[in-house]
Amino acid sequence: QVIKCKAAVMWEANKPFSIEEVEVAPPKAHEVRIKIVATGICRSDDHVITGGLVMPFPIILGHEAAGIVESVGQGVTSVKPGDKVIPLFVPQCGECNSCLSTKGNLCSKNDIGSATGSMPDGTTRFTCKGQAIHHFVGTSTFTEYTVVHESAVAKIDSAAPLEKVCLIGCGFSTGYGAAVQTAKVEPGSTCAVFGLGGVGLSVVMGCKAAGASRIIAIDINKDKFAKAKELGATECVNPKDFKKPIHEVLIEMTGHGVDYSFEVIGRTETMIAALACCQYNYGVSVIVGVPPAAQKITFDPMLLFTGRNWKGSVFGGWKSKDSVPKLVDDYMKKKFVLDPLITHTLPFTKINEGFDLLRTGK
């Protein structure tokens, strides 16, 4: 039956979240209703609020979470009530060309580009004050209960601490995978990471795990440097300390540019700087931050003509349903840490305070 619970509803852009009682419909065929236990706050959620990522309102945001299956619709075979799970904002249908290719992971059933704000059948499972509320990238985790399609949920180890592994639902996997999966960073290489939020720090961890010998961390907030070094950065650079463009600084530091660079902010000017700072002939630059809506990039095509590789990476290149349980297993085996990425733990009703902490770089 319908569940009534608390959710953080975003009624319109550039306003605070409103904690409301919502009605969550039961799962239809091939759908799963999940009790959300822990959810992370990600900059992509904030991009929707500010209009950088265009989505329909009113909406329940949130896409980085972990929870427990409450009920399942007809035909669901991969999870059952009581299972610990992570919702997947990049689904894995197993049938589209990206899912069938060994090279791709961005399932065509995703709702990132099209931004319908609905379930795959075109309807929503949330109602508030008699009004239908939109879903966010098929997950919507800023609510006590949510409904996702079976292709957008992964069953994980029943012993996993949900308040930690929720980060595998987005931030950690996105950053770590950009280094080890998308860029395929090699031992002994030199890397530059632009932006040291949770995802950027996860890129640093990925570069270190891949054996990079130099990892240059770049941010205009020097308070981020200590943690970056703790996680593997060998040097930290603040662009504000230099008169010249940051890509020139990095080329001077390395003599020829870096082997791999990562833009983990979502700004067009840093995307070009990251491309320009990598080695002119074989450097690889990866766009990890969500690009702002309606902005275009203008750059000198000679940057690419000489041989540089420019790539994008969504969810770290991982095939979600296959990889998330394995990443959780790796965490349980202590192959990587998540604790340093968690700065604050707040009750759900203080979600607006959480976003204030995000916006102030704390």
Q: What is the CATH number of the domain that holds 325?
A: 3.90.180.10
Same domain, 214 and 157: no
pLDDT in tens, 273-295: 999 999 999 999 999 998 888 78
Residues 215 and 299 in one domain: yes
44 is catalytic: yes
Does residue 157 have a pLDDT over 90?
yes
Per-residue pLDDT band at 114 (split at 50, 70, 90): confident
Catalytic one of 18, 44, 98, 108: 44
Q: Is 191 a catalytic residue?
A: no
Round to whole Å and give the CA distance between 34 and 322.
19
Six token digits for residue 112: 């990132």
Note down the domain range covering 218.
183-312
**Which is the catalytic residue, given 93, 107, 166, 170?**
170
Q: Is 222 a member of any domain?
A: yes
**Catalytic status, residue 47:** yes
Tokens of 249: 């600084």
Catalytic one of 63, 135, 149, 247: 63
CATH of the domain at 200: 3.40.50.720
pLDDT for position 281:
98
* Distance in Å from the first CA to the final CA of the chain: 41
Say yes or no: 13 and 156 in one domain: yes
The model's pLDDT over 119-135, given as tens digits with 9 standing for 90+, comes to 999 999 999 999 999 99
Select which of 42, 191, 207, 236 is catalytic.
Answer: 42
Whether residue 321 sits in one domain with residue 287: no
Q: What is the CA radius of gyration of the chain?
A: 20
Q: What is the reported pTM?
A: 0.96
What is the crossing angle of helices 268-277 and 246-254, to 10°? 20
Q: Nearest 5°: phi and psi at 226?
A: -60, -45
Which of 327, 304, 345, 350 is closest to 172 using CA atoms? 327
Q: Which residue has the tokens 């491309």?
A: 275
Same domain, 117 and 258: no
Write the CB contacts of 300 (distance below 8 Å, at least 6 apart in sequence): none
Q: Mind giving me the DSSP string for 11-76?
A: -STTS--EEEEEEEPPP-TTEEEEEEEEE---HHHHHHHHTSS---SSEE----EEEEEEEE-TT-
- Per residue in 38-93, pLDDT tens? 999 999 999 999 998 899 999 999 999 999 999 999 999 999 999 999 999 999 99
Answer whether residue 178 is part of any domain: no
Closest CA to 153 of 117, 116, 115, 120: 120
Out of 293, 312, 331, a domain closes at: 312
User: What pLDDT, on a 0 to 100 scale, did the predictor assign at position 137?
Assistant: 96
Question: How confident is the model at residue 293, as a pLDDT?
Answer: 83
Q: Does residue 136 fall inside a structural domain?
A: yes
The tally of domains found in the chain comes to 2
